């Protein structure tokens, strides 16, 4: 009898483990630095996008059938809207009358002020048509959200963030086509305690209108972002802030911080909130990654998250039978006629010219804004432990090879420059050379490895199989972290635009 009991216990344990494996997923659901995510559902497909900041193309677009497994399929813009200069933040998707809208934040070229533009498309999978700025208000207008109140469209945004006065969430009616303000802005909610207020989401349930919003610091090593809620009986207020705020926070457990998101409803009416989070520890160096948690109503007409107010990585799957796919590596052999959708480049600092021909990438560009370090073509890392490698053809005198890129004044370059191999570190526009060696061969294989998100190793090879380290000790690169983004690995060219860098392949492998 005792053996039978142990046997049955073993079966139950195995079944329980199998059930757990198939009933839970682990955040983030979209890997890599994609802050301020927005998510919508069109029929049976979910679409998400997020901040692209100083990287082009603008606003990566992802699709999913189950909210857990996402694939990048394109961008909102492949060409920069003419009224903008940089800082592409906080896109908000809105599906209305069989048309997809994207309300987005960018700096206005003529003023340098962040305002809100709008673009439309007949599908999230197609290029969007830009209609220019829709909110030009004050010293800053960012983080748009659109709400349909029984046929009347409203837009809300964060205002006064750069003024010596409290931050406010402002609202205004929109025209029926969603392309113009209709009337004067009005106050929805005021940041009376000075803790921050942005990234808002509106919805109505029962007698109340709700605003779910982010508070505290969004970005960088000191980020303490969290999620608050307020409610009112009218869209215009007055709003009552929940005494139990924050309703979602990090600081303990899996996340350093979390916030700025929107809710998407499943076909059966359940609410799933997608926001971004900084992971704790090494994961911080991957940036603000989209996470998903189910939101529900309480008996006293507030909102809460199904797994509590402490944000945790493991969550119940939205749909029975969903299995989370493992993290995948990246490889580009440049066999097609255009770059893979994953690639991004440093558009404020360089125009790009990338040609794929006979299984090779020819990369060059024209530096802008006094950029001294050329064109960076990079990827979002998806793990704190990864390697990148490439084969470089040694033509021309310019610098070409691998990079870890923060911005034009904070980067690492590992490559060929003329007749030498060189490893450079640029910190706050001051250059240091870590390795310098004569090199006369026609081609070279280069590799970098990253551990703990910010510890870097560099290697060279003549055959792509036997690798030789070029350092005695690894380099620690925390200085590559910018206030709102993390370093990206990739390829670099700096030199004559008519003598491009020539690469035979690129691989990025997750090491853990």
Cross-strand pairs, 511: none
Length of the chain: 512
DSSP state of 4: H
Residue listed under structure tokens 């030789």: 468
DSSP state of 468: E
Cross-strand pairs, 267: none
413 and 492 Cβ atoms separated by less than 8 Å: yes
DSSP state of 282: G
Cross-strand pairs, 16: none
How far is C-alpha 123 from the chain's CA centre?
Answer: 21
> Which of these is catalytic: 36, 140, 294, 502?
36
DSSP state of 504: E
Supply the Cα-derived Rg of the chain in whole angstroms.
Answer: 24
How far apart, in Å, are the Cα atoms of 247 and each of 214, 215, 260, 283, 324?
10, 11, 13, 23, 26
Residue listed under structure tokens 């599906």: 95
> Which of these is catalytic: 92, 168, 198, 226?
198
Question: What is the distance between the alpha carbons of residues 494 and 509, in angstroms, rounded to a whole number?
Answer: 25
DSSP state of 181: B
DSSP state of 325: P
Rounded to a whole number of angstroms, the distance between the first and last alpha carbons of the chain is 44
The yes-or-no answer on residue 207 being catalytic is no
For 140-239, where are the alpha helices, taking DSSP H only?
Answer: none
The yes-or-no answer on residue 43 being catalytic is no
Q: Give the residue numbers marked as catalytic.
A: 36, 198
């Amino acid at each position: 009898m005792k053996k039978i009991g142990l046997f049955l216990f073993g079966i139950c344990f195995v079944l329980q483990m199998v059930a757990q494996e198939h009933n839970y997923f682990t955040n983030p659901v979209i890997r890599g630095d994609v802050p301020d995510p927005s998510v919508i559902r069109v029929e049976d497909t979910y679409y998400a996008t997020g901040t692209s900041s100083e990287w082009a193309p603008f606003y990566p677009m992802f699709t999913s059938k189950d909210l857990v497994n996402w694939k990048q399929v394109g961008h909102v813009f492949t060409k920069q809207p003419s009224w903008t200069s940089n800082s592409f933040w906080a896109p908000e998707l809105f599906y209305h009358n069989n048309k997809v809208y994207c309300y987005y934040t960018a700096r206005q070229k003529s003023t340098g002020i962040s305002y809100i533009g709008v673009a439309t498309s007949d599908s999230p999978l197609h290029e969007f048509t830009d209609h220019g700025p829709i909110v030009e208000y004050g010293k800053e207008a960012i983080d748009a959200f659109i709400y349909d109140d029984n046929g009347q469209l409203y837009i809300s945004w964060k205002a006064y963030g750069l003024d010596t006065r409290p931050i406010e969430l402002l609202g205004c009616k929109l025209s029926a086509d969603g392309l113009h303000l209709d009337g004067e802005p009005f106050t929805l909610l005021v940041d009376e305690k000075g803790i921050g207020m942005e990234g808002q989401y509106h919805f109505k349930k029962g007698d109340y209108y709700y605003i779910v919003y982010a508070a505290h610091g969004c970005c960088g090593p000191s980020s303490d972002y969290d999620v608050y809620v307020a409610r009112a009986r009218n869209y215009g207020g007055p709003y009552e802030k929940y005494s139990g705020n924050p309703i979602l926070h990090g600081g303990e457990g899996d996340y350093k911080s979390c916030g700025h998101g929107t809710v998407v409803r499943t076909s059966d009416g359940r609410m799933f909130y997608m926001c971004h989070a900084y992971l704790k520890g090494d994961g911080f160096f991957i940036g603000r990654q989209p996470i998903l948690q189910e939101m529900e109503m309480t008996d006293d007409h507030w909102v809460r998250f199904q797994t509590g107010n402490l944000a945790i990585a493991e969550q119940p799957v939205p749909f029975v039978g969903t299995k989370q796919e493992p993290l995948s590596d990246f490889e580009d052999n440049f066999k097609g006629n255009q770059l893979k959708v994953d690639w991004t480049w440093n558009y404020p600092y360089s125009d790009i010219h990338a040609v794929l021909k006979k299984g090779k990438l020819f990369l060059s560009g024209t530096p802008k804004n006094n950029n001294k370090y050329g064109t960076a073509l990079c990827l979002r890392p998806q793990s704190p432990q990864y390697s990148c490698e490439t084969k470089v053809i040694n033509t021309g005198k310019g610098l070409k090879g691998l990079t870890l890129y923060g911005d034009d004044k904070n980067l690492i370059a590992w490559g060929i420059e003329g007749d030498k191999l060189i490893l450079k570190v640029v910190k706050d526009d001051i250059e240091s050379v870590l390795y310098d060696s004569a090199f006369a061969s026609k081609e070279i294989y280069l590799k970098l490895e990253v551990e703990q998100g910010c510890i870097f190793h560099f290697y060279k090879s003549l055959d792509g199989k036997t690798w030789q380290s070029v350092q005695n000790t690894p380099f620690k690169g925390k200085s590559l972290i910018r206030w709102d983004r993390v370093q990206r690995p990739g390829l670099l060219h700096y030199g004559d635009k008519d003598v491009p860098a020539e690469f035979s392949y690129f691989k990025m492998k997750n090491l853990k």
